[in-house]
């Protein structure tokens, strides 16, 4: 079961220097929208628009890594049409999962049967993961700005932290020290087993 909030807090306090955790790599990303100006945080100037670079899997983009095959060690659950993965290494939130179509399809292009399956799987994941002790919410995010191949993110945030809410939970995933991987893997096993009650195969 996920760590209690008090343990997450104790680990964060222990990892902090002068009360602050290290700034994650995202602060160096081009898309990071903030900078320090005169000692205060300010939005960066908006650059002029241009032509968007092709995403992975699109014409002219990098080859599709999903079509090249999923690393078996990342697969949590799968069936004929879907593959649910988790990163090899833990991050700051208790659970982060990605649901991919097996075939190369873009969001908005999957047929109604597949879209219905997506809705059912998503709903089950919300029910299963929000049912774990200490989980406040499972956020469901489709970005799709990096790769064309249909993939949707699921971010489980811990309960009880006033700061770890909404889209900022995604940033805390990179800010918080990584969770204990043995705890995470036990939770992934629970999720996979429960999801497989409706079909498919638990792999975690």
Applying CB under 5 A, among 66, 85, 101, 190 the residue interacting with Zn ion is 66
Judged by CB under 5 A, does residue 64 bind Zn ion? yes
Is the separation of the CB atoms in 128 and 118 below 8 Å? no
Taking Cα atoms as reference points, which of 142, 165, 136, 144 lies closest to residue 154?
Answer: 142
Q: In whole angstroms, how close is the CB of 128 to Zn ion at the nearest point?
A: 27
Q: Which helix (H) or strand (E) holds 171?
A: helix 168-175
Q: In whole angstroms, how close is the CB of 146 to Zn ion at the nearest point?
A: 12
Q: How far apart are CA 44 and CA 116, in angstroms?
A: 40
Judged by CB under 5 A, does residue 67 bind Zn ion? yes
Judged by CB under 5 A, does residue 107 bind Zn ion? no
Is the separation of the CB atoms in 203 and 77 below 8 Å? yes
Three-state DSSP at 80 gives coil
Applying CB under 5 A, among 81, 104, 124, 137 the residue interacting with Zn ion is 104
Judged by CB under 5 A, does residue 186 bind Zn ion? no
Applying CB under 5 A, among 55, 100, 149, 151 the residue interacting with Zn ion is 149
Q: How far apart are CA 106 and CA 142, in angstroms?
A: 11
Structure tokens at 147: 């790769």
- Of the pair 4, 61, the CB lying nearest Zn ion is at 61
> Which of the ranges 44-52, 81-89, 143-151, 191-199 carries the binding residues for Zn ion, by CB under 5 A?
143-151
Q: How far apart are CA 156 and CA 139, in angstroms?
A: 6
Is the separation of the CB atoms in 149 and 87 below 8 Å? no
Judged by CB under 5 A, does residue 110 bind Zn ion? no
> Which of the ranges 25-33, 43-51, 55-63, 159-167 carries the binding residues for Zn ion, by CB under 5 A?
55-63
Q: How far apart are CA 58 and CA 120, in angstroms?
A: 28
Q: In whole angstroms, how close is the CB of 68 to Zn ion at the nearest point?
A: 8
- Of the pair 64, 140, the CB lying nearest Zn ion is at 64
> Which of the ranges 4-12, 60-68, 111-119, 156-164 carries the binding residues for Zn ion, by CB under 5 A?
60-68
- Contacts with Zn ion by CB under 5 A lie at 57, 64, 66-67, 104, 149
């Amino acid at each position: 079961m996920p760590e209690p909030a008090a343990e997450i807090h104790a680990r964060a306090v222990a990892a902090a220097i002068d009360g602050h955790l290290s700034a994650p790599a995202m602060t160096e990303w081009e898309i990071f929208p903030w900078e320090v100006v005169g000692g205060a945080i300010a939005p960066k100037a908006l650059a002029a628009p241009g032509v968007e670079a092709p995403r992975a899997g699109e014409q002219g983009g990098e080859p599709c890594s999903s079509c090249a095959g999923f690393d078996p060690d990342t697969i949590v659950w799968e069936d004929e049409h879907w593959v649910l993965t988790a990163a090899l290494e833990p991050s700051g939130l208790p659970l982060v999962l990605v649901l991919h179509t097996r075939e190369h399809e873009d969001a908005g292009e999957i047929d109604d049967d597949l879209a219905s399956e997506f809705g059912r799987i998503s709903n089950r994941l919300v029910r299963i993961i929000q049912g774990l002790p200490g989980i406040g919410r499972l956020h469901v995010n489709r970005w799709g700005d990096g790769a064309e191949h249909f993939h949707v993110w699921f971010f489980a945030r811990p309960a009880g932290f006033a700061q770890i809410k909404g889209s900022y939970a995604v940033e805390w995933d990179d800010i918080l020290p990584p969770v204990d991987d043995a705890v995470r893997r036990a939770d992934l096993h629970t999720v996979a087993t429960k999801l497989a009650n409706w079909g498919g195969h638990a792999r975690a």
